């Protein structure tokens, strides 16, 4: 099957990406960094920094997280011990769940 030309995203996802981009831009400006300086520090192109600041949904999440970290945008908890606790809880929960999910083969009889 061919890959769709454009991907649709929910309004919530688009708004979250836009907000994160604005927070990155704000942090960059507060630290008096140019786009080129931030791009160099993050090891990415100036275009990627610009797109991330615009809330482009096509940017690699790792690159956007690194940009946020470099300008001081807190994504989750700032305390590493709290983040480690959340990771441990999520891993414990996942260990109790099935490793994979298969579609139900049972046909529903809904004719009354």
| Residue range 13-31, pLDDT digits in tens | 999 999 999 999 999 999 9
Q: How far apart are CA 15 and CA 20, in angstroms?
A: 9
Average pLDDT, integer, range 103-108:
75
Check residue 83 and give its pLDDT. 80
Tens of pLDDT, residues 17-75: 999 999 999 999 999 999 999 999 999 999 999 999 999 999 999 999 999 999 999 88
Q: pTM for this structure?
A: 0.76
Q: Which of 46, 43, 56, 48 is nearest to 16 (CA)?
A: 56
Task: Provide the pLDDT confidence category of residue 103 given band limits of 50, 70 and 90.
Answer: confident
> From the CB of residue 14, how many other CB atoms can be counted at a distance below 10 Å?
13
For residue 5, the model assigns a pLDDT of 67
pLDDT of residue 2: 63
Band (pLDDT 50/70/90 cuts) for residue 87 is confident
83 C-beta neighbours (distance < 10 Å), count: 13
- 3-state class (DSSP) for residue 62: helix
- Entry field: residues in the chain: 112
User: CA 44, 48, 53: angle at the middle one, nearest 5?
Assistant: 125
Measured from the Cβ of residue 69, the count of other Cβ atoms closer than 10 Å reads: 14
């Amino acid at each position: 099957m061919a890959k769709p030309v454009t991907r649709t995203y929910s309004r919530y996802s688009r708004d979250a990406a836009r907000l994160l981009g604005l927070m990155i831009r704000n942090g960059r400006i507060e630290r008096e960094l140019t786009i080129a300086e931030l791009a160099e520090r993050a090891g990415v192109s100036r275009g990627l920094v610009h797109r991330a600041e615009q809330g482009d949904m096509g940017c690699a999440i790792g690159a956007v997280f690194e940009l946020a970290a470099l300008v001081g945008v807190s994504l989750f908890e700032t305390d590493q011990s709290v983040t480690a606790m959340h990771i441990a809880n999520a891993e414990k929960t996942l260990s109790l769940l099935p490793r994979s999910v298969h579609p139900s083969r049972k046909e529903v009889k809904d004719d009354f």
